[in-house]
Amino acid sequence: AWSEALGGPVVYPMLARQPYADLLNACDLVLSPFPFGGLHSTVDALRLGLPVAAMEGLEPHGRTDAMILRRLGLPEALIAQTEEAYARTAITLIDDGDARLEMGRRALAADAGRLFAAPGRPLRTEVADAVWAAYRRHEQIQASGRRAWTLADLAGLD
């Protein structure tokens, strides 16, 4: 079975940021899942200098990893269109230490952190602020029966 072939994979529960980063940093590469991508895991891996092998799917949720790799200018060789090509890419990264290290260097040089903010401009927080405001005012929102809120509306509940 696949579990035996992979040597007994471990599935971890949701982790805090640092334990998650520590586990990810112990890896040599990341094989992006499909048919769904691993958008956030892909970005996290690239920021740690881990090469990512991805398969580009037909649906939007299966195209995010390829989009990230392309946007960062990483080699097309990391993006497969078929399961067979994906397996070949994975095997190359596993077997060829020099290629794996080179892709890791390119991942670091690509600076995935730049995906989140324009140079010289801080990240904006409106979405996080709105989610936190809605969380803090959950009971009031539920009692109101209202379905749409702005951040200003939520602030008015204080």
Are the C-beta atoms of 19 and 36 separated by less than 8 Å?
no
Cβ-count burial of 14 within 10 angstroms (0-12 exposed, 13-18 middle, 19+ buried)? exposed
Q: What is the pLDDT of residues 36-57, one digit of tens each?
A: 888 889 999 999 999 999 999 8
For residue 30, pLDDT beyond 90? yes
Q: Is the pLDDT of residue 6 over 70?
A: no
Q: What is the mean pLDDT of residues 99-116?
A: 90
Q: Determine the pLDDT at residue 78.
A: 96
Question: What is the pTM (predicted TM-score) of this model?
Answer: 0.70
SS3 of residue 124 by DSSP: coil
Q: Sorting pLDDT into bands at 50, 70 and 90, what band is 123?
A: low
